[in-house]
Amino acid sequence: MSDWERSSTARVIAPARPRKLAKVPFVELADGRLQGVVSSGSDIGRVYVSSVAAGTYTFACSTNNNRPCGGARGSFCNHIRALISEAVLQYGAERVARYLRVEPSDGEPSAQTITDGMSAARPPQGDTKAAAPVFSRFLRHLAYLELTPTTAPLPEMQWFPPTRAVA
Ligand SMILES: [Zn+2]
């Protein structure tokens, strides 16, 4: 991990691309994982907490009530795929690939090649212990949104430095 990833005073920038907050309201690269909260495709009141670990690609997905995701059996479910796509919009594909330690097979990383690269490694399914802390951070994030009556970009989602050229 480089100094700027440890630093709590990283520079503020806008997301690489605008994100669809409704589908994936919370995404972060933290605790050695890509993790976040993904809305259920069918039930507007239900959300999933999904994660993929850097390096091993160990994945987990469960509802906020800790029910296992029916789609995450043996391979990435649609929530995890959506999470990867949103992470690429938020952080840029290179940063996501670097954080997860994925070597996309054909040059330029993208959400598709990152997903394919990890799937090809036949990642193991992990437990959902991380779901509760991720979900509580999401709730704090929501509280923050409700306290902020503005459509301006959210500083808390932008505490990430610009993508740096790979040495
Ligand atoms: Zn899922």
pLDDT digits (tens, 9 = 90+) for 49-87: 999 999 999 999 999 888 999 998 889 999 999 999 999
Beta-bridge mates of residue 6: none
Ligand 1 center to residue 1 CA distance, Å? Answer: 28
Task: Report d(CA 52, CA 95) in Å as an integer.
Answer: 15
Q: Which residue is associated with the tokens 């990890």?
A: 118
Ligand 1 center to residue 62 CA distance, Å? Answer: 6
Ligand 1 center to residue 77 CA distance, Å? Answer: 5
Ligand 1 center to residue 73 CA distance, Å? Answer: 9
Residue 44 is given by DSSP the state T
Contact 25, 136 (CB under 8 A): no
Ligand 1 center to residue 59 CA distance, Å? Answer: 10
List the one residue out of 113, 151, 114, 121 whose CA is nearest residue 29: 114
pTM of the model: 0.74
* Measured CA distances, 60 to 76, 125, 148 (Å): 9, 6, 31
Ligand 1 center to residue 61 CA distance, Å? Answer: 5
Q: So what's the pLDDT on residue 13?
A: 54
Whole-angstrom Cα Rg for the chain: 15
The amino acid sitting at 129 is K
Ligand 1 center to residue 33 CA distance, Å? Answer: 16
Task: Report d(CA 96, CA 105) in Å as an integer.
Answer: 15
Q: So what's the pLDDT on residue 150?
A: 52
Domain ranges of the chain: 17-138
Ligand 1 center to residue 100 CA distance, Å? Answer: 19
Q: So what's the pLDDT on residue 20?
A: 52
**Along the 167 residues of the chain, how does pLDDT read in single tens digits?**
444 444 444 445 556 655 555 789 899 999 999 999 999 877 777 899 999 999 999 999 999 888 999 998 889 999 999 999 999 999 999 999 999 999 877 778 999 999 999 999 999 999 888 899 999 999 888 887 776 555 555 544 444 444 444 44
List the one residue out of 160, 150, 141, 165 whose CA is nearest residue 12: 160
